[in-house]
Amino acid sequence: MMDRDNFEKLMTEVKDFVNNKVRPFAGKFEEEEAVPLSLIKEMAERKYLAAPFPAEIGGLELDQVQYGLLTHEIGKGCPSVRALLTVHTSLVGQTLLRMANQEQKDKWLPLLAKGEKIAAFGLTEPDVGTDAKSVQTRYEKQGDHFVITGRKKWITYGHLADVFVIIARNEENVSAFLVERDRENLRTTPIKGLLASRAAYIAEIELNAVRVPEENVIGNLGQGFSYIVNTALDYGRYSIAWAGVSLAEAALEEMVKYARNRSQFGQKLYKFQLIHEMIANAVTKVQTAKSICLQAGEQRNNNADEAIMTTTIAKYYSSKIAMEVATDAVQLHGGNGCCNQYPVERLFREAKIFEIIEGTSQIQQEIISMYGLKKYNRK
């Protein structure tokens, strides 16, 4: 955990970085369909890519609340930039910190911390999304190697990554493997025509009998879903929970800015009562979602039994309010809200993604309802 004074100093630095080098160029990143490599390099030099990692491997040693607040600030600037933290740092980095063996940690974590290697998480497939237990990518043992064949789709930073965590199955055994990009018969193809996340190097990965050594197995064979996937998705949901708050807050800021500057019927928009209602609702939703994320972060710091469920609730609620606030932001902008000259058009499209990734809202509702049926059952 970073002490309070140093964390406040860090967050001042992060805000300056976002306001000067991220937020003004978010639209350009989307047009060019790429977060610049120079920006990623600078994030690595600032240790943002290793924010929750231990200092001995180049990290900032942020606790879960602090890490959430950092990702929140970066997410306000550009969701595609923040997405790198979700996949590289949370889904892969934090999962390796918890689940990899010492040799794997010693080899990969310093490289990930420095940004010398970028990582992505290969779970979703063309015909398999939320039903992660049903992955169709296969592996088989051949001597001292494993051979992996299959396709992964919608992989964030997949077209840029140097190493992937690939989830594959052999009969009923689901396992996780570290697979380097330079392995023979591995190919990535960028996915175009996306609703959002256009700058996040989203790709399809093809593995055609890719050979990886035994030492690339993460954890034990057969534990890929119950341990690796569930651990990674928990980290991912926490990151996306904060992402929802960051997008909703960015949309709220745009609402307030526009309402204060736009005049209709001889007065500023913010003078109208129904505009008051929209802004009041947005403020309430943002503050509530942020409070749930802070609660989840505190529980995660304390290894509380409720941490995973609170994280699930936070992901569900923040993705929901991100869509609602972004929708109201477009409405408040009127016709201008439908034009990419205003950030709310992009924020509206980006918000929808959060209701789908890291478990759809419908799946989160199922999980939360089962929890509620047990916890609130009066006998």
R_g (Cα) of the chain, nearest Å: 21
For residue 153, what are the contacts with CB-CB under 8 A and spacing of at least 6? 124, 125, 126, 191, 204, 205
Distance of alpha carbon 344 from alpha carbon 326, whole angstroms: 7
Measure Cα distances from 331 to 79, 270, 275 in Å. 21, 14, 10
C-beta of residue 167 within 8 angstroms of C-beta of residue 176: yes
Q: How far is CA 2 from the centre of its chain?
A: 22
C-beta of residue 275 within 8 angstroms of C-beta of residue 353: no
Distance of alpha carbon 134 from alpha carbon 12, whole angstroms: 44
For residue 339, what are the contacts with CB-CB under 8 A and spacing of at least 6? 345
CB-facing half-sphere around the CA of 364: CA atoms within 13 A: 27
Phi, psi torsion values for 131, nearest 5 degrees: -80, 70
DSSP letters, 114-141, are HTSS-EEEE--BTTBSS-GGG---EEEE
Distance of alpha carbon 124 from alpha carbon 131, whole angstroms: 9
C-beta of residue 180 within 8 angstroms of C-beta of residue 172: no
Distance of alpha carbon 156 from alpha carbon 133, whole angstroms: 20
Is 306 annotated as catalytic? no
Catalytic residue among 204, 254, 345, 358: 358
The residue among 253, 347, 239 whose CA lies nearest residue 293 is: 239
C-beta of residue 88 within 8 angstroms of C-beta of residue 35: no
Active-site residues, by number, are 358
